[in-house]
Amino acid sequence: MKDLDVIEFKQKIDNNDEFILIDVREPFEYEMFNLKGKLMPLGNLMSYLNELEPFKEKEIIIHCRSGARSATAKDILTQMGYKNVRNLLGGVLAWQEKFINP
């Protein structure tokens, strides 16, 4: 599925679209700033598969700090059969640049 930028992501939030938001950063990063996603650090992603299984057909948006780790997480989930996984391009840095510190 096509990745999305922070503007499209904000539109999805504003429209109350249904999606699962996963943050694949580390806990200390999440504590500093987060987008209210479910914290599932990339290094432990496989241990969350049972929790994610019910959402295999739902839209899942994954983000990290810059978009690199979330791209890896997207690849992993896609290979595991998840159909609608999207990477938030630019991650938290892009979000902060656009909406927090423009």
Residue pointed to by tokens 């699962």: 20
Distance from C-alpha of 17 to C-alpha of 59, rounded to nearest angstrom:
10
Could you confirm whether 12 is annotated as catalytic? no
Q: Provide CB contacts within 8 A for 9, sequence distance 6+.
A: 61, 88, 95
Given the residues 52, 60, 61, 64, the one annotated as active site? 64
Active site residues: 64
